[in-house]
Amino acid sequence: MAGFTYATLTTAIQNYTEVSTTVLSSTVTDQFIDNSEFRIMRDIPIDANRAFAQDNMVANQEHVNVPPGALVVRGIEVADSTSAFNNPIWLEKKDLTYLDEFNGSRATGRPKYYAMKGGATGTTNTTSGGAFLSPIPNSTYVYKIHYNARPTGLSASTTTNFISLNFPNGLLYACLVEAFGYLKGPMDMLQYYEKRYQDELQKFAGEQIGQRRRDDYTDGTIRIPVNSPTP
């Protein structure tokens, strides 16, 4: 199946459901697409959504801002410099209660731990939360925050994205689940497309968190066992 554009996906939803734009207006199908993209993002961690941001900490400020659109923070590195990313160490992720116990005296220094509180919304950084640090930074250390970001969704102005081009069948089936739920049936069609979505999701997961997380040199070539004929 070739990849979808926003227009061809919208048309496909209408064709598969055999319902006209009188019922499935662009406002309605846009919501199907948006819901489906969110579902896929939360079902499978996608490499294309990985990003990082580099910045300087603020001395005596106990948190660093989460980048805009960040869904999941995957890790934070802190350098030993305030001007260059030299000799970085990875911070250990803990709970806020651990940070409170570890640094009850609110000592300052090069951070060793972080804990999440709050998150980015819309297109702006957090300003009063994000990743809380312990010890509290005593200088403007350079840091990198690695995260999964929500990509720009399909729309009339964004006609394609990674999901529509590389997981088009899964996106279509997820949209059809939304559509038949909205249309109140037929229930057997909703169940059919839910199963089709789950089947394609397993294949996509095998690619994203299977094949893309390994290589032949480190992990060896994947081999499928073949049973020998019974003598």
Of the candidates 36, 7, 1, 31, the one whose C-alpha atom is nearest the C-alpha of residue 159 is 7
- Comparing 67-76, 176-185, 192-201, which segment has the lowest mean pLDDT? 67-76
Task: Report pLDDT for 126.
Answer: 52
Tokens (6 digits) for 28: 């309605």
pLDDT in tens, 189-198: 999 999 999 9
169 burial class (0-12, 13-18, 19+ CB within 10 angstroms)? middle
- Give the SS3 label for residue 158: coil
Task: Report pLDDT for 120.
Answer: 52
Q: Which residue has the higher pLDDT, 31 or 121?
A: 31
CA–CA gap between residue 101 and residue 93 (Å, rounded): 14
Q: What's the average model confidence in pLDDT over 41-54?
A: 92
Is 189 within 8 Å of 209 (Cβ atoms)? no
